[in-house]
Amino acid sequence: MPASRNMAHSIAQYTGTRIDSSAKHIVACKVNGKVFERLGNQVKQLTDDKYRYAMQKDELVLSVALMTDEDVVRGADRTFQRTFVKHAYPPVITTLGDKLLDEHKTAIRLYYRNLSFENEDEGIVYDRNGVDHFFPFKFDFVGVSVGTAYASDLTGDPVGSVLIGGMMTVLNGHFPCYTGELVQWYFDFESEEFDPDGKRIVPAGMDHRIRYPIGGREHFYQQRMFGAHADANRGKQNVALIKPFRKIRDRRNYAYGDKVRVIGRIVNGGQPWEPIDIFLSNTFV
């Protein structure tokens, strides 16, 4: 029986409240609509379906300042050749949109699965028709959104506030977590890289056991909190979530690709898809 069946709810669940702290560190960030255009979206889509690409409250915010104009990988050199672009505000996203290809998802999963200190300067590489291509962006965690900003300035203000340090209540992801554990971010399509307890599977045999209590709960919370729907024509997809930072299954060490994505510590744990309290601090990274 999974341990999560016997786990108490968080304080936020019992009281219906949100944790808050007087000490906050907030920065202004701008949603980078160019990310979605690079992935195949038209500007009209960014305005017609504005909330599908917008940064909304309580979402995990990722920086896309690390970008490249390089496309085809030349030879065996996979070094990420960064293109420097000046930005008035840190360029960020909260979703990779609905044009992300399967080969993109596979490449991102493989990148974090195989990441090490020695190859950290390499880019995310995917195969298309037998040719290796660079994914145009790499990701860094910024914080949690405390406001709304849009991907196109034709829709509304693209600049919003992001909490980069302090305590707050956020939505848990696919795995149960406990008070005192370190917490990391991951993409929703990476969930099968981990077993039901949140331990990374190596080699990735993909554990398809039902993750209690995911049945129904994932749909309920994703749909209502983030507007994310299974239907490709509705809501957000390919979003960042949080999970407990745990060792590789059947090993005593941690995956480097998980270690570099640690963002804080859990104050009050909870079951999958419950609001939990975390202490957010980039000093853990």
Helix (H, G, I), strand (E, B) or coil at 91: strand
**What backbone phi and psi angles, to 5 degrees, belong to 15?**
-100, -10
In contact, 117 and 135? CB cutoff 8 Å: no
- CA–CA distance, 202 with 215 (Å, rounded to integer): 25
Mean pLDDT (whole number) for 92-97: 94
In contact, 159 and 152? CB cutoff 8 Å: no
pLDDT given for residue 214 in this prediction = 52
pLDDT band of residue 20 (cuts 50, 70, 90) is: low
What is the distance, to the nearest Å, from the Cα of residue 242 to the centroid of all Cα atoms in its chain? 7
Q: pLDDT, tens digit, for every residue of 38-53?
A: 998 888 989 988 888 9
pLDDT band of residue 275 (cuts 50, 70, 90) is: confident
* pLDDT surpasses 90 at 242: yes
- Two tokens at 259? 């270690």
In contact, 182 and 264? CB cutoff 8 Å: yes
In contact, 254 and 182? CB cutoff 8 Å: no
Helix (H, G, I), strand (E, B) or coil at 143: strand
pLDDT band of residue 187 (cuts 50, 70, 90) is: very high
* pLDDT surpasses 50 at 103: yes
What single-letter DSSP state applies at residue 230? S
Lowest-confidence segment of 58-67, 120-129, 208-217, 252-261 by average pLDDT: 208-217
Q: For the chain, what percent of residues have pLDDT higher than 70?
A: 79
